Amino acid sequence: MKRRSVVIGGALVLLFVTGGALLFYWMLHPALSVIDPVTPLPDDTVSIVGRNFGEAPGELLFDNIPLPGHAIQSWSPTYISFKMPSDVDSAVVRVRTTFGFSNPLMLANSSKIPKAAESQAVSEFRPNITGVKPTANIQIGKSIVISGSHFGEPEENAAVFFTKIPSISTLETEDLNNFIKIESASLLVDRWRDTSMAVRVPDGVESGYVFVRTKNGISNTYPVSFSHSLGRTWRGESSKYVIEQKVILHVTASLPDGRLSLFLPKPATTQNQSAETNIGSGGDHLNADHANWQEFRFGQDDASKSKLEITRQFIVDASEIRADINVGSIQAIGAAPPAFLAPYLAADALVPSGDEAIVAAARTIQRKEKNTFRQVALAAQWVFSNIKLNEQDQGLSNDALPALKNKNGGIRALALIDCALLRALGIPAIPVAGFLVAEDMRLIPHYWGEYYLLGIGWIPFDPALATGTVPAGFVPGFSERLTYYRGIDNKHIAMSRGYQLLPPVQPEAQKKVKIPWSLSEYDELVQGVSYTSIWNPPEMAPSAPQ
């Protein structure tokens, strides 16, 4: 027994020492974020932004050789400037202090970089970045101004790219998978002109570079540094699911111009979920394939067939995600929201944020609490305290307004009401429909949401689980339910995110809603066709990982 105590005590000491060493490493070890410019000419002034450089100068290493002291112009804990040596072609740059070596970043002499052969016309009109304001301490959701030339007009091929891989070097900028692409027509672009653009910083950026692409080519890279002082989201463990869905259809009669369209949602692509959709059968009826849904069309030629079938398989990789939030420093969106957030503050067909009861509840919460994040928690508590949850009600017409009127509704209605209340509070919000993965691998229809905080971005959350409303058969992935106010686990599979616009409906056509795991206005559109349909609920494939 004594020996066991000694072993346990030794393990605890080792754990404490290891944790202390990691904390020591983070707090004191030097780290580089940005070199500006990364391709200087000889004698150009070059800046390095980072942390833990120390008050007294350490060593600036080029391929492990210290730069002469007279070349260093300034040295502070977070900033170093120096003159670019003329005898360097390219180098791995590090900082060395008494606490060790920093991470490496690349630097190259612009005059030594081979220039690809190109026509003068192409070179003349290639986009060029001459400046970015600000270049440091930039926050997600805020606007940066990129100045230069030959950005052209907003068009299909025009886009700006932000680094999403930490500590990326200039050698990796050719791989566009390392960057977040913002197209020129995106609502994140406030202004796009030939010599300047104003762009909102997207979710998921890391300090590194920005560059511009147009039909005439790709610009130079320009270093920028982003701040996460307000908080950031983190991805945790992921789970891979293989899901099968089947729709069985019997067409009994059709007019010559009869038409039946089935609109099947595809799993949503989010910051914590990637998905692939494969068609097993019925692909010959695929009429349209969009980012969020597929249309399968049937008509007169199918009336003679006794049975038609659509089978699809979804391969979903879902990660847990949670946000570290500096609650005391959170900023409100304000009375004039940027264009990319405006749709998520206004009422729509699903989210009645302008309803009198919702507005009144928002005023009550605002009188109690001014902090945006705390308002998120109070909104969920108000909904699940004032609207009785009917766990048996998974009705397809279970929307927000009837539940508000009756003070009673299913989980779909309560999640929509919660998003409406957040929007009324001035907090951008998006409803999400999908499934929870139960312990026995059943898929439980469920609804949650996402809200937006300046400086952090979109944060998924589950108001039901956060308030302690747990469906039968589901074991939450987070042991502390309050974590669901700022994240979701890897047992959430998103099938539909936000209100999904489908093609306009002709007056004589009939709309039908068949499935609860979608946020579309309708799932079937029929005109001049007599038929029956069965939408089998998606199930975990036998080969799905446990």
Q: What is the pLDDT of residue 169?
A: 54
Does the residue 6 lie in any domain? no
C-alpha dihedral (142, 144, 150, 152), degrees to nearest 10:
20
The predicted model gives 185-207 an average pLDDT of 94
- Looking at the structure, tell me whether residues 356 and 493 fall in a common domain: yes
Q: What is the DSSP letter of 484?
A: G
Q: Is residue 546 scored above 50 in pLDDT?
A: no
- Looking at the structure, tell me whether residues 288 and 335 fall in a common domain: no
Could you check whether the bond before residue 37 is cis, i.e. omega within 30 degrees of 0? yes
Task: Give pTM, 2 decimals.
Answer: 0.79
- Looking at the structure, tell me whether residues 169 and 211 fall in a common domain: yes
| Out of 215-219, 275-279, 299-303, 437-441, least confident range | 299-303
- Looking at the structure, tell me whether residues 372 and 340 fall in a common domain: yes
Confidence of residue 122 (pLDDT cuts 50, 70, 90): low
430-466 pLDDT per residue, tens:
999 999 999 999 999 999 999 999 999 999 999 999 9
CA angle, residues 259, 500, 497, in degrees to nearest 5 = 135
Contact 410, 399 (CB under 8 A): no
User: Whole-angstrom Cα distance, residue 92 to residue 162?
Assistant: 22
> What is the domain count for the chain?
4
Q: What is the pLDDT of residue 6?
A: 47
The predicted model gives 502-507 an average pLDDT of 86
Does the residue 151 lie in any domain? yes
Could you check whether the bond before residue 134 is cis, i.e. omega within 30 degrees of 0? yes
User: Whole-angstrom Cα distance, residue 361 to residue 375?
Assistant: 11
- Looking at the structure, tell me whether residues 351 and 429 fall in a common domain: yes
The predicted model gives 265-272 an average pLDDT of 91
- Looking at the structure, tell me whether residues 182 and 250 fall in a common domain: no
Q: What is the pLDDT of residue 545?
A: 46
Q: Is residue 9 scored above 70 in pLDDT?
A: no
Beta strands in 303-359 (DSSP E): 308-325
Q: Is residue 233 scored above 60 in pLDDT?
A: yes
459-493 pLDDT per residue, tens:
999 999 999 999 999 999 999 999 999 999 999 99
HSE-up of 316 (CA within 13 Å, CB side)?
Answer: 32
Q: For the domain that residue 107 is a member of, what is the CATH number?
A: 2.60.40.10
Q: What is the pLDDT of residue 224?
A: 87
Domain range holding 88?
28-111
Q: For the domain that residue 491 is a member of, what is the CATH number?
A: 3.10.620.30
356-367 pLDDT per residue, tens:
999 999 999 999
361-418 pLDDT per residue, tens:
999 999 999 999 999 999 999 999 999 988 765 554 468 899 899 899 999 999 999 9
10-66 pLDDT per residue, tens:
544 444 444 444 444 456 888 887 787 777 888 888 888 778 888 888 999 988 889
Q: Is residue 277 scored above 70 in pLDDT?
A: yes
Residue 38, SS3 per DSSP: coil
Instruction: Give 3-state DSSP helix, strand, coil % of the chain, rounded to 5.
Output: 20, 40, 40
Q: What is the pLDDT of residue 391?
A: 72
Buried b (16+ CB within 10 A) or exposed e, 286-320: eeeeeebbbbbebbbebbeeeebebbbebbbebbb
User: Whole-angstrom Cα distance, residue 61 to residue 72?
Assistant: 11
Q: Which of 111, 131, 148 is the last residue of a domain?
A: 111
pLDDT averaged over every residue in the chain? 87
Q: For the domain that residue 266 is a member of, what is the CATH number?
A: 2.60.40
